[in-house]
Chain A
């Protein structure tokens, strides 16, 4: 049965597909044959030739409609009609190339931007990490009660207790940042590399198999262990992807390490800068591992499938509270908090990303509305054509389909262009946005292209359906009825265009307000002073390898020699040697107590402060003012270095109404090497506050003398002229002291501070770009609507003039007509932005959602643009020659 059916129908299908023209000709012939026979029949019954023909035609019915109905029964009819609609669409679009190009470019920009951001959002926020069952991976942090929720790094001693005494997690692993000088076995260039030290179960917990070699074993994870795993990037870059490196040796800080494995290329965790991994305990002293206040590690845990996260965390929290009670005078946190691994990685970028995605969504909507508006205008111009065609029997669906074809074509072309655009834009974004955690895995794929296509389709629907429905409604027959003379088009359609415009302007206002606020935040950030000299300041970092510089004396000798040489260089105004400079980041902090104060109550929050090291000339060279007391002397070194300088902020917070000079800070985390009971430091001076990072509140800071002996240092040089010219001479000075010593991060102070602003500047710039584009779109829309209104009302204006209306009255009339939707839109937009800006309040700095300056700026800009957009058509309207206007139809 089925088979037989196909025998009959398949040839028909093929004929209908490939011999369309012959089918049409045959149908014509068939109908002609019918008519001929009917005419003959009629004549045989005695009618005149003319009468016979007329009667035959009447009997047949509407021949054109008949053909259509017959064709509708053929196969592939839908396809044929689609092609036809598209052909007509292309023809209409190419008749107005200006309109078409603008519309396509607008669509391409909007869809391109949306696709790029979606790509980033998908890679960063939506796509689970390629770890095994990532939904059950969480990060566990310590949490000091009383303060606001903070994700405090974990002390290893706490971690070992958690891991052995709780049962809610399948396993827990620990890691901490480390850094090494990587030197070659055969005189390759030294380089300093960022590394992580991780417990041996970390990779198996994450579900990561090494691409080459093996994972760490339990036996590797002990003090003095000399095994290392390479990440793919360093394996490719430095070792040319040679698999023979597995099993051979590399030198870290001049000690030989054996490479046991290479991690897969996709593995960029916690971020892409990590070059190698060593076992957690490899270079940690036994005391470090036993201290409950050695905060500096991250803990990742895999939840058991039959335990809920809150239950598991409560268990860990209970263990932690016991530890806290056990060491009441040490900074041991009372509680723990957790967050998913994915959130942990995305934490910093989630908000700006969401903000930008919404901004781009708004822009896309504005683009659609604008195209809808332009199409409504075109629809209005074709009103009579549509009315006549529907009077002749065209179905509404056909007419709507035809108009939709135009918007589909625009959106398809725009979408194609947009995808191409976003290929470039995504790459740029991933490169520019420093905080993105998985920057190298951001790329387009099938899902993103599917998203772009869906976007395209939605845009085509929004932009096409509204105008198509409005022009083909029941009221369209009125177009035929209205006398040619009145000329004014239907009120409802103008109202539609105006309300589209109002929404468009409203959304633009929201974008403008957001952009204004972000821009102001960025300006404020740029203008904040970090509390020291920023101009003409060059910084560089080096780390003295522990093998050559094995005593504090040797380290001091190098550091002091270098300082003396640099200060003697011509053009150098001053040089500071410390561990970090203001504006370069958090760096490190320690808890302390004041020895002269009464002991803290149990449960009271331990004060903590940033910790930095400085040479005697540090503050002078950086221009940090002395508030009271004195700077370090070169005598405060080695065993005589139990002196500290504190910041003004620390004095205000912890020595209110007291003289801090001569008091002692008890800092258990800084117990002197080899003398764990010596942890008291005398305050000798108070200096001005600095910002560790632009945009953050100043924090209490403690400075230790660097001459107690430190191998790692940051040199800041204040120069008389362009600081970058000094980078090579400075490195030569270092090379002359030690040719093996690698120097890293040669940056100007401005670059360091700028780097922390890159993200603020990026979000401000992007949102501003979206807002400006939206403003242009809205003003084009405003101009379009008013121009259209003017042509529609030409004869009306002519009559008014003939009756004695003044030109400036007409100007005012038309201007008000255009400005009304702008004003409504402005009001609507301001209301919406009150709600919208609250959402990203935390991204603002030095400004608030209702910033009067920003709001005034936005209102002024929008009004100015609206008046400009309205002025040209209104002016044209007022210059109409009345006699000519009365003659136009």
Chain B
């Protein structure tokens, strides 16, 4: 339950980076967005997002900042760094390549 075992290792990172590339978000909003975009296909428990976010931050791909939100509250907003953007581009291209290759194999017709 803690780890999204169905997800290929590193895929969660890729998804998080991609969503954050669109706009800076705080943790909860990010989890909502993940659910929206992936539908029910990717079952990610809300909690497992945080280790992933902290890891990305330690690596320098994303940057965290406390910002005020509505009703006098504040939340930790994550945004993509320049390094993260470059990393995302590289990884996305990688993913495209691999998934294309895998789909190609799977599309072979059985004789």
The residue on B at minimum CB distance from A5 is B60
Q: Is the CB of B51 within 8 A of A33?
A: no
Q: Is the CB of B75 within 8 A of A66?
A: no
Q: Is the CB of A72 within 8 A of B51?
A: yes
Q: A37-B28, A73-B55 known; A30 and B50 CB under 8 Å?
A: yes
Report B24 CB to chain A, min CB distance, Å. Answer: 15
Q: Is the CB of A34 within 8 A of B31?
A: yes
Interface code B1-43, partner A: CB below 8 Å = 1, 0 otherwise? 1100000000000000000000000111101100000000000
Report B79 CB to chain A, min CB distance, Å. Answer: 12
Name the B residues within 8 Å of A34 (CB-CB).
27-28, 31, 46
The residue on A at minimum CB distance from B3 is A69
Q: A26-B76, A30-B50, A62-B47 known; A73 and B58 CB under 8 Å?
A: yes
Name the A residues within 8 Å of B29 (CB-CB).
37
Interface centre among A36, A41, A65, A69 (most CB of B within 10 A): A69
Q: Is the CB of A66 within 8 A of B82?
A: no
Name the B residues within 8 Å of A61 (CB-CB).
1-2, 45-48
Q: Is the CB of B46 within 8 A of A74?
A: no
Name the A residues within 8 Å of B81 (CB-CB).
8
**Residues 50 to 89 of chain A near chain B (Cβ within 8 Å):** 59-63, 65-66, 69-70, 72-75
Name the B residues within 8 Å of A5 (CB-CB).
60, 83
The answer to whether B107 has its CB under 8 Å from any CB of chain A is: no
Q: Is the CB of A33 within 8 A of B28?
A: yes
Q: A70-B51, A73-B54 known; A65 and B2 CB under 8 Å?
A: yes
**Residues 81 to 96 of chain B near chain A (Cβ within 8 Å):** 81-83
The residue on B at minimum CB distance from A71 is B54
Name the A residues within 8 Å of B83 (CB-CB).
1, 4-5, 8
Name the A residues within 8 Å of B76 (CB-CB).
26, 29-30, 33
The answer to whether A856 has its CB under 8 Å from any CB of chain B is: no
Name the B residues within 8 Å of A489 (CB-CB).
none
The residue on A at minimum CB distance from B47 is A61
**Residues 705 to 726 of chain A near chain B (Cβ within 8 Å):** none
**Residues 17 to 44 of chain A near chain B (Cβ within 8 Å):** 26-27, 29-31, 33-34, 36-38, 41
Interface code B54-77, partner A: CB below 8 Å = 1, 0 otherwise? 110111100100100000010110
The answer to whether A551 has its CB under 8 Å from any CB of chain B is: no
The answer to whether A432 has its CB under 8 Å from any CB of chain B is: no
Report A7 CB to chain B, min CB distance, Å. Answer: 8
Name the A residues within 8 Å of B60 (CB-CB).
5, 8-9, 12
Name the B residues within 8 Å of A16 (CB-CB).
58
The residue on A at minimum CB distance from B31 is A34
Report A887 CB to chain B, min CB distance, Å. Answer: 44
Q: A26-B76, A34-B31, A60-B46 known; A9 and B54 CB under 8 Å?
A: no
Report A407 CB to chain B, min CB distance, Å. Answer: 32
Q: Is the CB of A70 within 8 A of B58?
A: no
| Contact size range, B | 20 to 34
Name the B residues within 8 Å of A70 (CB-CB).
50-51, 54
Name the A residues within 8 Å of B75 (CB-CB).
30, 33
Name the B residues within 8 Å of A29 (CB-CB).
76
Q: Is the CB of A66 within 8 A of B47?
A: yes
Report A28 CB to chain B, min CB distance, Å. Answer: 11
Q: Is the CB of B58 within 8 A of A12?
A: yes
Q: How far is the CA of A27 from the CA of B58 in the complex (A)?
A: 14
Report B88 CB to chain A, min CB distance, Å. Answer: 15
Q: Is the CB of B51 within 8 A of A66?
A: yes
Q: Is the CB of B2 within 8 A of A38?
A: no
Q: How far is the CA of A838 from the CA of B14 in the complex (A)?
A: 70
Q: How far is the CA of A37 from the CA of B47 in the complex (A)?
A: 14
| Contact size range, A | 20 to 34
Q: Is the CB of B51 within 8 A of A69?
A: yes
Name the B residues within 8 Å of A33 (CB-CB).
26-28, 73, 75-76
Q: Is the CB of A60 within 8 A of B73?
A: no
Name the A residues within 8 Å of B28 (CB-CB).
33-34, 37-38
Report B84 CB to chain A, min CB distance, Å. Answer: 9
Q: How far is the CA of A761 from the CA of B76 in the complex (A)?
A: 77
The residue on B at minimum CB distance from A69 is B51
Name the B residues within 8 Å of A37 (CB-CB).
28-29
Q: Is the CB of B45 within 8 A of A75?
A: no
Name the B residues within 8 Å of A38 (CB-CB).
28, 46
Report B35 CB to chain A, min CB distance, Å. Answer: 10
Interface centre among B26, B46, B60, B81 (most CB of A within 10 A): B46
Report A30 CB to chain B, min CB distance, Å. Answer: 5
Q: Is the CB of B82 within 8 A of A4?
A: yes
Q: How far is the CA of A63 from the CA of B48 in the complex (A)?
A: 10
Q: How far is the CA of A38 from the CA of B29 in the complex (A)?
A: 10
Q: A26-B76, A34-B27, A65-B2 known; A75 and B58 CB under 8 Å?
A: yes
Q: How far is the CA of A16 from the CA of B54 in the complex (A)?
A: 12
Name the B residues within 8 Å of A62 (CB-CB).
1-2, 47
Name the B residues within 8 Å of A63 (CB-CB).
47
Q: How far is the CA of A60 from the CA of B2 in the complex (A)?
A: 9
Q: How far is the CA of A439 from the CA of B47 in the complex (A)?
A: 68
Name the B residues within 8 Å of A31 (CB-CB).
50
Q: Is the CB of B51 within 8 A of A30?
A: no
Interface code A449-478, partner B: CB below 8 Å = 1, 0 otherwise? 000000000000000000000000000000
Q: How far is the CA of A62 from the CA of B50 in the complex (A)?
A: 12
Q: A8-B81, A9-B58 known; A66 and B50 CB under 8 Å?
A: yes
Report B54 CB to chain A, min CB distance, Å. Answer: 5
The residue on B at minimum CB distance from A66 is B47
Q: How far is the CA of A41 from the CA of B31 in the complex (A)?
A: 12
Report B72 CB to chain A, min CB distance, Å. Answer: 13
Q: How far is the CA of A9 from the CA of B55 in the complex (A)?
A: 11
Name the B residues within 8 Å of A75 (CB-CB).
58
Report B97 CB to chain A, min CB distance, Å. Answer: 22
Q: How far is the CA of A63 from the CA of B46 in the complex (A)?
A: 10
Name the B residues within 8 Å of A8 (CB-CB).
60, 63, 81, 83
Report A42 CB to chain B, min CB distance, Å. Answer: 12
Name the A residues within 8 Å of B55 (CB-CB).
73
Name the A residues within 8 Å of B73 (CB-CB).
33, 36
Report A53 CB to chain B, min CB distance, Å. Answer: 14
- For B45, give its contact among A4, A30, A59 (CB under 8 Å): A59
- For B58, give its contact among A4, A66, A74 (CB under 8 Å): A74
Interface centre among B1, B51, B59, B76 (most CB of A within 10 A): B51
- For A30, give its contact among B1, B27, B82 (CB under 8 Å): B27
Q: How far is the CA of A36 from the CA of B51 in the complex (A)?
A: 19
Q: Is the CB of A9 within 8 A of B2?
A: no
Report A568 CB to chain B, min CB distance, Å. Answer: 99
Report B50 CB to chain A, min CB distance, Å. Answer: 5
Report B51 CB to chain A, min CB distance, Å. Answer: 4
Q: How far is the CA of A66 from the CA of B1 in the complex (A)?
A: 11
Name the A residues within 8 Å of B27 (CB-CB).
30, 33-34
Report B69 CB to chain A, min CB distance, Å. Answer: 9
Q: How far is the CA of A72 from the CA of B2 in the complex (A)?
A: 14
Q: How far is the CA of A61 from the CA of B59 in the complex (A)?
A: 25
The residue on A at minimum CB distance from B2 is A61
Q: How far is the CA of A834 from the CA of B43 in the complex (A)?
A: 69
Name the A residues within 8 Å of B2 (CB-CB).
61-62, 65-66, 69
Report A196 CB to chain B, min CB distance, Å. Answer: 70
Q: A30-B76, A34-B28 known; A12 and B50 CB under 8 Å?
A: no
Q: How far is the CA of A74 from the CA of B56 in the complex (A)?
A: 10
Q: How far is the CA of A66 from the CA of B28 in the complex (A)?
A: 15
Other than A8-B83, A65-B2, give 14 A-B pairs with Cβ distance below 8 A: A8-B60, A8-B63, A9-B58, A9-B60, A12-B57, A12-B58, A26-B76, A33-B75, A33-B76, A38-B28, A61-B1, A61-B47, A63-B47, A74-B54
Give the 6 A-B CB pairs with smallest separation, nearest first.
Answer: A8-B60, A61-B47, A73-B55, A37-B28, A66-B47, A69-B51
Q: List 9 A-B contacts (CB under 8 A).
A: A8-B60, A27-B50, A27-B54, A30-B76, A33-B76, A61-B1, A61-B48, A69-B48, A74-B54
